[in-house]
Amino acid sequence: EMVEFNVFFNRIIDRFEMSKSHKVDFERHLPKEQYFVEIDPDKLTQVIDNIISNALKYSPKGGKVRFDMTVEEGSLLIQISDQGMGIPKENVDRIFDRFYRVDRARSREMGGTGLGLAISKEMINAHGGVIWAESKFGKGTNIFFTLPFEMDDGGEWD
């Protein structure tokens, strides 16, 4: 399905922002232009829901969740960053493994199965994109993913 990503993304962020059951502020840095992507909207919603849920769940002291979207060589680059507990450097790449959770004791109280990011990775890869993370333990986490896109040509047909 062809979806305009800005509207799609904003709608998901709105839904979390309106729920207000968290003490985190949202900050959006999204371009004004339209970007059309060929995606499965239900699956992409699941991916973004998990990333935002993680950002909230692993930010017990609040802070900011920042949303960025830029264009890089025919792909959209989406970033969702938080100021939460972060992930020790040696564990960052493992968070996309099935059932992997950084701190078993800590994450047991927070609920979840450790499957969210493994599923997210499968779905982003199936869309022709890549997903990765950068994190500073005690400072916060930034999740990146890309999606191939087609530039809007203003509705002209050739």
What is the contact surface with ligand ATP in residues (CB under 6 A)?
A: 50, 54-55, 58, 82, 84-87, 95, 100-102, 107, 112-118, 141
Longest dimension (CA), the chain: 59
Among 84, 86, 116, 129, indicate the residue that binds Mg ion (CB under 5 A). Answer: 116
CB of 114 to Mg ion, least distance (A): 8
CA distance 94 to 39: 26
Contacting Mg ion within 56-115 (CB under 5 A): none
- Does position 54 interact with Mg ion (CB under 5 A)? The reply is yes
| Residue with Cβ nearer Mg ion (116 or 140) | 116
Residues lying near Mg ion in the complex (CB under 5 A) are found at: 50, 54, 116
